[in-house]
Copies of this chain bind each other. A is one copy, B any other.
């Protein structure tokens, strides 16, 4: 553990605990106890519990959005309309690369996102606020790649995509049991190899109409 300020120590521990136990499952006293700082410092630095959580969400979202936007730009600079696979890849691999290789605290951040994305009370609003502008850029690129796509299909495909990513980041170890130890929910490299072709095929099935592809 490097020399961190008290504020940084709160941030580091809070990110991990919120990811593991959720917002309501984590108390300020647990956070500050593990961080070795006084409870009252949360109020001083972040106002209150929700302020702390929001700040954690905001911090990394900014950096992430810039990076993913650049990844999309690079794809489109080579080719516009770009192939579906490359667009999906730009969105997805930026995340998965962080989890696979870089500093391990990103895993906690994505674990937090998994909980936020599935929270029926305020999760939708929070995700929209932080990520929808970026998502719209990706959907624009996909719309140019599949110009005959029905608008609603594009949005629902993104929804399925987001759900698949989210469950991955939740890292619940269910697939470990289901597969009898063959797969591991924390094997983000395995997801990295499979998610792009899976999602791209889904997009093509619904958004590149040859006749009507909807079901029923």
Binding site for B on A (CB under 8 A): 19-25, 85, 89, 111, 114-115, 117-121, 123-125, 127-128, 132, 135-136, 151-153, 155-168, 170-179, 182-183, 185, 190-206, 213-216
B167 touches A118 (CB 8 A): yes
Tell me the nearest residue of chain B to A201, going by C-beta.
B205
A-B contact pairs, 16 of them (CB 8 A): A20-B120, A117-B170, A118-B167, A124-B174, A124-B185, A128-B174, A135-B178, A155-B175, A157-B194, A159-B168, A160-B164, A160-B198, A193-B215, A196-B215, A198-B206, A201-B205
Max chain B C-beta neighbours (<10 A), residue from A19, A159, A176: A159
Please tell me which one of the listed residues B135, B176, B190 contacts residue A124 in the complex, with CB atoms under 8 A apart: B176
Contact B178 A136 (CB under 8 A): yes
A120: which of B89, B171, B194, B195 is its contact (CB, 8 Å)?
B171
Quick one: copies of this chain in the complex?
2
Q: How far does the Cβ of A128 sit from chain B's closest Cβ, in whole Å?
A: 4
Most buried by B among A19, A20, A123, A179: A179
A125 touches B177 (CB 8 A): yes
B168 A166 Cβ-Cβ under 8 A:
no
Contact of A193 among B174, B197, B205, B214 (CB under 8 A): B214
Residues of B within 8 A of A164 (CB): 159-161, 163-164
Question: With A24-B25, A164-B160, A216-B192 in contact, is A120–B152 under 8 Å at CB?
Answer: no
A170 to B199, CA, bound (A): 20
- Residues in B whose Cβ lies below 8 Å from that of A166: 118, 163, 166-167
For the complex of A and B, 8 pairs with smallest distance between CB atoms: A163-B167, A201-B205, A124-B172, A124-B174, A24-B24, A198-B202, A160-B164, A24-B25
Q: CA of A124 to CA of B117 in the docked complex: distance in angstroms?
A: 18
User: Which chain B residues border A196 with CB–CB below 8 Å?
Assistant: 215
The smallest beta-carbon distance between A30 and chain B, in angstroms, is: 12
B197 touches A214 (CB 8 A): yes
Check A89–B178 contact: CB distance below 8 A: no
